[in-house]
Amino acid sequence: MQIDLSSKHALVTGAASGIGARIAELYAECGAHVAVHARTRAKAESTVEAIKATGGKAFSVEADLMDSEAIEEMCQAAISGLGGIDIVMNNAGTYTPQAVVESDAELWRKTMAINLEAPRLITQITTNAMIEQGTGGRQLYTSSVSAIMAEVNGSAYCASKAGLNSLARCLAVEVGKHGITVNTINPGWVDTPMARKAFEDMLEEGMSLDQLIEESMSANTLGLVIKPKDIAAMAAFLASDYGRCITGQDINVCAGISLLSFGDE
């Protein structure tokens, strides 16, 4: 099976590193022209350069996802630069652990702004563009198994991702008639820079970061550490014609951790 995204125009948010970078690279490998988003163009350029180095087509767009005007400008720049829009991968997100009883209002607002409100606005702008094109499309989201599981110190993150999954399901029933599919991918712990930063706070004396990540991230039914490429593979499948009959779904790519309990740390 070969995934063909040639002639497709894709926007990937949060694509400077980790999951977003690998999705953008794989989309380009499959033939898509990709708009690579990061908070600043400078941060996006490493992904753009990696894509161009292998013969792919890409350019950078920038926006602070807590700034609605910047988001609108970014979306318009992406659509204009691409010459249309067929695939939107809302991947950008933020995670800061904090207990409910100690929760900070500003942290809650920031988490909701980046993980839920920004995707809503990006979705609104790009979906209208897809409808106007009249050629269908794909709206995709990097969510998390945290959307469906309880997590110690994860209330803001879990709530934002649960909201994202709900938004996607509602959108799916609204835009199916336009040939637009809508799905979320729920990763478990993935070995990314953001995850590594979170694990740094959990380090105990005598343990290396790599050792902690290996032991913690492989605590799933398959005993595997999930890599960005594993999430990118699902994102490419759903973006392609192979995913044309899949919509309104929350797809767990979590090595089976959704079958377990996070429990107490």
Q: How far is CA 196 from CA 33, 96, 168, 176, 239, in A?
A: 30, 12, 28, 38, 28
Domain ranges, ordered by start, for the chain? 9-188+229-251, 191-225
Q: What is the pLDDT confidence band of residue 265, given thresholds at 50, 70 and 90?
A: very low
Active site residue 157: yes
186: closest CA among 165, 159, 213? 165
CA distance 234 to 182: 13
227: closest CA among 2, 46, 22, 34? 22
Residue 185 has pLDDT above 70, yes or no: yes
Report the range out of 134-148, 199-213, 249-263 with the highest average pLDDT: 134-148
**How would CATH label the architecture of 9-188+229-251?**
3-Layer(aba) Sandwich (3.40)
Residue 212 or residue 18, greater confidence? 18
Helices within 83-182 (DSSP H only): 105-112, 118-133, 155-175
Residue 102 burial class via C-beta count within 10 angstroms: exposed 0-12, middle 13-18, buried 19 and up: exposed
CA distance 129 to 133: 6
Q: What is the pLDDT of residues 110-130, one digit of tens each?
A: 999 999 999 999 999 999 999
Q: What is the mean pLDDT of residues 159-178?
A: 98
Q: How far is CA 238 from CA 46, 70, 131, in A?
A: 25, 28, 19
Residue 261 has pLDDT above 70, yes or no: no
Q: Which of 27, 95, 141, 157 is flagged as catalytic?
A: 157
Residue-averaged pLDDT of the chain: 93
Residue indicated by tokens 């106007």: 132
Q: Which pLDDT score is estimated for 181?
A: 98
Q: What is the mean pLDDT of residues 202-212?
A: 75
Q: What is the pLDDT of residues 66-121, one digit of tens each?
A: 999 999 999 999 999 999 999 999 999 999 889 999 989 999 999 999 999 999 99
